[in-house]
Structure 1
C-alpha cells in the first residue's frame, strides 16, 4: 500500500464515517429520550433514498401510501384511547396524522416537484412523520416497559418495515443523480463533489444539533427528559411529545442520510439495515449517551471499514462488528451495574 492508496481509503472512510455518524447521533438521541434502541433507523435511510429516486423518475413514491396508512392507523388508535378516557393531545396528534400526510400528498400528487431541492424537501416531508407515527403505534403504549421489551419490539418492527419496503419498492435497487457532480484532483487524489456534499451536510447537521440541544428551549427540554424522565414530567415537560420529537428528528436524519448516499451507491430496500448497524456500533462506542464519542466512534468505524476492504475485503463486515467486543469489555470494567429504573 502506497501513500496515494492510503489517502484514497482515508477519504472513503471519512465519507462513510460521516453517514455512520448521523446514524449514531439519531440512535443516541432516541435512546436517551425514550430508552428505545431503535433498530429500524436504517429503514429511514432506505426509504428516503428510494423515495428520492422515484421522484426523480417522475413516479409517485410508495412511501406516500405507507405514510397515509400509518397515519390512519395512528388516528384510529388515538380515537380508541380517547374513548377509554385517556387524555390525548389532539393538536400534536392531528399534526402528525393529518397535517403532514396532507402536505405530503399535496406535494407529491399536486405539485409533482422536478427541481432537486423541491424533491429533497418532499422526501423529508414524506419521511419525517413516519418516526412519530411509529412511536405512537409501537412504543408509546409500552413507555414504561423494560429496555429489553422495547428492544424486542424494535426487532419486530424492523422485520415489518423491511417486508413493507420489499412490497412497496421491490427488489431492484436505485440510484439518484448527485447534488453536485463536480470532480476535483487534490494532490493526485480524485474527490467527487457529492463526497464533499456528504461531509459538508453532516458537519452542518452536527453543528445544528449541538446548537439545538445547547441553546433552544425545546432542545433543553429533550435533554431534561433524557436525564430524568420523571423529573422532567414533574417540571411540566410533556415527555410523550418529547418522544414524538426525538423520533421525528431521527427520521429526518435518516432521510437526509439516504439522500446523501443514494448518488454514491445503489440502494435496495434492505440497504439501511447494515448502515444502521454500523451506526449502532459507533453509538456503542459513545455508550449510547455521548454525542461527541459517538461521532468519534463513527469515524473509527468508517476508517476501519475502508482499510479492511483493502486488506481483507471478504471480512470487512466481520472486522467492523468485532469492534463492539473490546468496547463492551472495556466499558464492563469501568462501569457499575444499575437497575433499569435507574
Structure 2
C-alpha cells in the first residue's frame, strides 16, 4: 500500500463514517428518550433512497400507500383510545396522521415534482411521518415494557418493514442522480462533489442537532426525558410527545442519509439493515448514550471498513462487527449492573 492508496481509503472511510455517524446519532437519540433499540432505522434509509429513485424515473413511490395506511390506522387507534377515556393529543395526531401525509400525497400524486429540490422535499414528507406513526402504533403501547421486550419488537418490526420494502419497491436495486457532479484532482487523489455534499450535510445536521438540544425548549425537554423519564413527567413534560419527536428526528436523519448515499451506491430494499447495523456498532462504542463518542465510533467503523476492504475484502463485514466484542467486554468490566428504571 502506498500513500495515494492510503489517502483514498481514508477518504472513503470518512465518507462512509459520516453516514454511520448519522445512523448512530439517530439510534442514541431514540434509545435515550424511549429505551428502544430501533433496529428498523436502516429501513428509513432504504425507503428514502428508493422513493427518490422512483421519482426520478417518473413514477410516484408505491410506499405512499403504506404511509396513508399507517395514518388511517393511527387515527382509528386514537379515536378508540379517546372512546375509552384516555387523553389524546389531537394536535400532534393531526400533524403526523393528517397534515404531513396529505402534503406527501399532494406532492407525489398531483404536483409530481421534476426539480431535485422538490423531489427531496417530497421524499422527506413521505418518510418523516412514518417515524411518529410507527411509534404510536407499535412502541407507545409498550412504553413500560423492558428493554429486552422492546428489542424483540424492534426485530419483528424490522422484518415486517423489510418485507414491505420488497413488496413496494421490488428486488431490483436503484441509484439516483448525484447532487453534485463536480470532481477535483488534489495531489493525485480524486475528490467528488457528492462526497463533499455528504460530509457537508452531515456536519450541518450534527451542528443543528447540537443547537436544537442545547438552545431550544423542545430539545431541552427531550434531554430531560432522556435523563429521567419520571422526573420529566413530574415537571409536566409529555413523554409521549417526546417519543413522537425522537422518532420523527430519527426518520428525518434516516431519510437524509438515504438521499445522500443513493447516488454513490446501489440501494436495494434490504440495504438499510446493514447500514443501520454499522451505525449500531458506532452507537455501542458510545455506550448508546454519548453523542460525541458515537460520532467517534462511526468514524472508526468507517475507517476500519475501508481498510478491511483493501486487506481482506471477503471478511470486511466480519471485522467491522467483531469490533463490538471488545467494546462490550470493556464496558462490562467498567460498569455496574443496575435495574431498569420503572
Bin of the TM-score, shorter chain as denominator length: over 0.9
1:63·1:127 contact (CA, 8 Å) conserved in 2?
no
CA distance in 1, matches of 2:297, 2:62: 34
Structure 1 equivalent of residue 313 of structure 2: 313
Structure 1 equivalent of residue 42 of structure 2: 42
CA distance in 2, matches of 1:166, 1:157: 14
Structure 2 equivalent of residue 128 of structure 1: 128
Q: How far apart are 1:63 and its partner, in Å?
A: 2.0
CA distance in 2, matches of 1:184, 1:89: 52
Structure 2 equivalent of residue 118 of structure 1: 118
Q: Deviations over 1:233-259 (max 9, x none)?
A: 110111100000000000000000000
TM normalised by structure 2 equals 0.99
Structure 2 equivalent of residue 157 of structure 1: 157
Q: Deviations over 1:255-306 (max 9, x none)?
A: 0000000000000000000000000000000000000000000000000000
Structure 2 equivalent of residue 276 of structure 1: 276
Structure 2 equivalent of residue 199 of structure 1: 199
Structure 2 equivalent of residue 21 of structure 1: 21
CA distance in 1, matches of 2:208, 2:95: 24
CA distance in 1, matches of 2:84, 2:147: 27
Q: How far apart are 1:71 and its partner, in Å?
A: 0.6
User: How many pairs were matched up?
Assistant: 342
CA distance in 2, matches of 1:233, 1:341: 14
Structure 2 equivalent of residue 255 of structure 1: 255
Structure 1 equivalent of residue 60 of structure 2: 60
CA distance in 2, matches of 1:292, 1:326: 19
CA distance in 2, matches of 1:201, 1:24: 15
Structure 2 equivalent of residue 187 of structure 1: 187
Q: How far apart are 1:341 and its partner, in Å?
A: 1.4
CA distance in 2, matches of 1:38, 1:54: 26
CA distance in 2, matches of 1:108, 1:191: 34
What SS class does the counterpart of residue 268 from structure 1 fall into? coil
What SS class does the counterpart of residue 151 from structure 1 fall into? helix
**What is the Cα-based RMSD across aligned positions, in Å?**
0.6
CA distance in 2, matches of 1:145, 1:94: 27
CA distance in 1, matches of 2:11, 2:147: 37
CA distance in 2, matches of 1:23, 1:127: 15
1:162·1:270 contact (CA, 8 Å) conserved in 2?
yes
What SS class does the counterpart of residue 184 from structure 1 fall into? strand
Runs (4+) off by over 2 Å: none
CA distance in 1, matches of 2:320, 2:91: 44
Q: How far apart are 1:111 and its partner, in Å?
A: 1.2
Structure 1 equivalent of residue 286 of structure 2: 286
CA distance in 1, matches of 2:62, 2:306: 33
Structure 2 equivalent of residue 302 of structure 1: 302
What SS class does the counterpart of residue 237 from structure 1 fall into? coil
| Structure 2 stretches lacking a partner, 5+ long | none
Structure 2 equivalent of residue 238 of structure 1: 238
1:37·1:151 contact (CA, 8 Å) conserved in 2?
yes
Q: How far apart are 1:137 and its partner, in Å?
A: 0.4
Asked if 1:221 is matched to 2:221, the reply is yes
Q: How far apart are 1:184 and its partner, in Å?
A: 0.7
What SS class does the counterpart of residue 59 from structure 2 fall into? coil
* Aligned 1:129-144 pairs, distance under 5 A: 129-144=129-144
CA distance in 2, matches of 1:63, 1:208: 29
Which deviates further from its counterpart, 173-182 or 70-79?
Answer: 70-79
* Aligned 1:46-125 pairs, distance under 5 A: 46-125=46-125
